Amino acid sequence: MPKHSQWLRPLVLASSLLLLCGCVSTSPVSGDDELFVALGGEPDLRLLVDEFIAVSAPDPRVAPTFANTEMKRFREKFYEHLCELSGGPCVYSGDPMAEVHRGLKINEGQFNAVVENLQIAMSRRGYPQPVQNRLLARLAPFQRDIVVQPGNSD
Ligand code: HEM
């Protein structure tokens, strides 16, 4: 056996194992797209975003904050965010949550209003409660980046 194959063999074995277990991937998909699938994938998730916007537009707790927002961009970025969060094949291309919401002085009541509106939208779209809960659980940690913290004026 040629001498170099002594160190080549473990390398070949290691890369074969990596390929077999699917560890090597150029795709942004994490592998767990179960929630994204349960939400109906891209078409249904886009319809959910539309429903959420329709529910929020007349809501006085939320609407004034969006007065100067370009809604076409919001619709797209909010979709991307939910898609990525649920394990879908998207990469969120918007700005970081803390940066986007800084300066808007969003309080806990407004955050809860958005969660409530999303729940209404999900119910209207016919999602079962466990699916709703799973999406909401993934959104909950963003509260600290979005709601203005006591002692912090922005
Ligand atoms: C879990 C809760 C929330 C999530 C996941 C979320 C997510 C997002 C995303 C993805 C964007 C687009 C970012 C971009 O354009 O780069 C955005 C923008 C925005 N969000 Fe939120 N948001 C949440 C809660 C809230 C709440 C409670 C309010 C206030 C009622 C709010 C008000 C806004 C406004 C006004 C914009 C547009 C800012 C602009 O015009 O530049 N968001 N949000």
CATH code, 37: 1.10.490.10
Q: Report if residue 19 sits inside a domain.
A: no
End-to-end CA distance of the chain: 69
Supply the pLDDT for residue 125: 98
CA of 101 relative to ligand 1 center, distance in Å: 6
Average pLDDT over residues 100-128: 97
- Say yes or no to pLDDT of 84 above 50: yes
CB atoms within 10 A of CB 145: 14
- Decide whether any atom of ligand 1 lies within 6 Å of the 145 Cβ: no
Q: By three-state DSSP, how is residue 96 classified?
A: coil
Q: Report if residue 68 sits inside a domain.
A: yes
From the list 105, 134, 109, 108, the residue with the least C-alpha distance to 119 is 134
- Say yes or no to pLDDT of 17 above 50: no
Distance separating alpha carbons of residues 78 and 26, to the nearest angstrom = 24
Q: Report if residue 9 sits inside a domain.
A: no
Supply the pLDDT for residue 2: 47
pLDDT tens sequence across 26-47: 344 457 999 999 999 999 999 9
Structural domain harbouring 64: 28-146
Residue nearest to atom 13 of ligand 1 (CA): 94
Highest mean pLDDT among 12-16, 25-29, 79-83: 79-83
Supply the pLDDT for residue 150: 75
Distance separating alpha carbons of residues 131 and 148, to the nearest angstrom = 28
- Decide whether any atom of ligand 1 lies within 6 Å of the 95 Cβ: yes
Q: Band the pLDDT of 23: cuts 50, 70, 90.
A: very low
Number of domains observed in the structure of the chain = 1
Q: Band the pLDDT of 99: cuts 50, 70, 90.
A: very high
- Decide whether any atom of ligand 1 lies within 6 Å of the 142 Cβ: yes
Distance separating alpha carbons of residues 32 and 8, to the nearest angstrom = 33
